[in-house]
Amino acid sequence: MGKDRLFLLPPGFQDNDRREFCPECAELWGVLSYYPAIKESLEICYVGIHHPREPIERVLGEGRWNAPTLVLNEADSVSGDFQAQTSNGETYLDSARQIAKYFAAKFGTAMPR
């Protein structure tokens, strides 16, 4: 069984002439620190800040490069209150809140507020 792939920006990157971080990616790192067992079930892939983000586009198609994005390995095996999208035959979530809702459905963690 393959793993879900989580595309994130790195914890710190250079942009706008300063060091920055992505608040949505940091939100997911917070969820993973609350529930470290989830991290074991993921393939975590870091992508760069600049568009297009080729690793995500390669999976989801041109113009799709949001980070964070979670590409689901077995989309039909989990149902819950999250809004999955489909592109290139892949099912994915492209917001931290939707990803956290998916984790709640799949792993029984607390639901984000």
Res 77: pLDDT: 75
Res 84: pLDDT: 93
Res 39: pLDDT: 95
Res 1: pLDDT: 63
* Reduced DSSP (H G I as helix, E B as strand, rest coil) percent helix, strand, coil of the chain, to 5: 35, 25, 40
**Could you tell me the pTM of the whole model?**
0.93
The contacts of residue 54 (CB under 8 Å, 6+ apart) are none
- pLDDT tens-digit profile, the chain (113 residues): 689 999 999 999 999 999 999 999 999 999 999 999 999 999 999 999 999 999 999 999 999 999 999 999 987 778 888 999 999 999 999 999 999 999 999 999 999 98
